[in-house]
Amino acid sequence: MRGAVMHAPGDVRVETRDDPAIVAPTDAIVRLSATCVCGSDLWPYRGIDPVESPTPMGHEYAGIVEAVGDEVRTIEPGQFVVGSFFASDNTCEICRAGYQTSCVQRQPGAATGGQAEYTRVPLADGTLVATPDVPADDLVPSLLAASDVLGTGWFGAVAAEAGPGRTVAVVGDGAVGLLAVLAATQLGAGRVIAMSRHEPRQELALEYGATDIVTERGDDGVARIKELTGGLGAHSVVEAVGTQESMMQAIRSTRPGGHVGYVGVAHDVQLPGEELFFSHVHLHGGPAPVRRFLPELIDLIWNRRIDPGKVFDLELPLDDAAEAYRAMDERRAIKALLRV
- Which residues sit at the interface with Zn ion, rule CB under 5 A? 88-89, 92, 95, 103
- CB of residue 103 vs Zn ion: minimum separation in angstroms? 3
CB of residue 158 to Zn ion, shortest distance in Å:
19
What are the phi and psi torsion angles at 212 (to 5°)? -140, 150
CB nearer Zn ion, residue 88 or residue 185:
88
Please tell me whether the peptide bond between 44 and the residue prior to it is cis, using omega within 30 degrees of 0. no
Q: In terms of CB distance, is 103 or 300 closer to Zn ion?
A: 103
In the bound state with Zn ion, the residue whose beta carbon lies nearer, of 191 and 291, is: 291
Q: Which is nearer to Zn ion, 53 or 74 (CB)?
A: 74
Smallest separation (angstroms) from Zn ion to the CB of 92: 3
Q: What span, in angstroms and rounded, lies between the C-alpha atoms of 253 and 160?
A: 12
Angle (CA) 127-128-132 rounded to 5° is: 155
Beta carbon of residue 93, minimum distance to Zn ion (angstroms, whole number): 8
If the CB atoms of residues 86 and 154 are measured against Zn ion, the closer one turns out to be 86
Report whether 146 contacts 290 (CB < 8 A): yes
* Shortest distance in whole angstroms from residue 98 CB to Zn ion: 11
Residue type present at position 211: T
Give the nearest distance from C-beta 127 to Zn ion in angstroms.
10
Which residue, 250 or 294, is less far from Zn ion as judged by CB?
A: 294
CB of 146 to Zn ion, least distance (A): 20
Q: Which of 126/242 has CB closer to Zn ion?
A: 126
- 39 versus 287: smaller Cβ distance to Zn ion: 287
Contact predicate 249/177, CB 8 Å: no
The nearest distance, CB 109 to Zn ion, in angstroms, is 13
In eight-state DSSP terms, residue 203 is: H
Q: 335-339 and 312-317: which strand pairing?
A: parallel
Residue 53 phi/psi, 5-degree rounding, is: -80, 140
CA-wise closest residue to 236 among 222, 215, 250: 250
Q: How many residues does the chain have?
A: 340
Report whether 290 contacts 85 (CB < 8 A). Answer: yes
Q: How far apart are CA 316 and CA 325, in angstroms?
A: 11
Q: How far is it, in rounded angstroms, from Cα 185 to Cα 179? A: 10
DSSP structural state of residue 34: E
Q: What would you report as the CA-atom Rg of the chain, rounded to the nearest whole angstrom?
A: 19
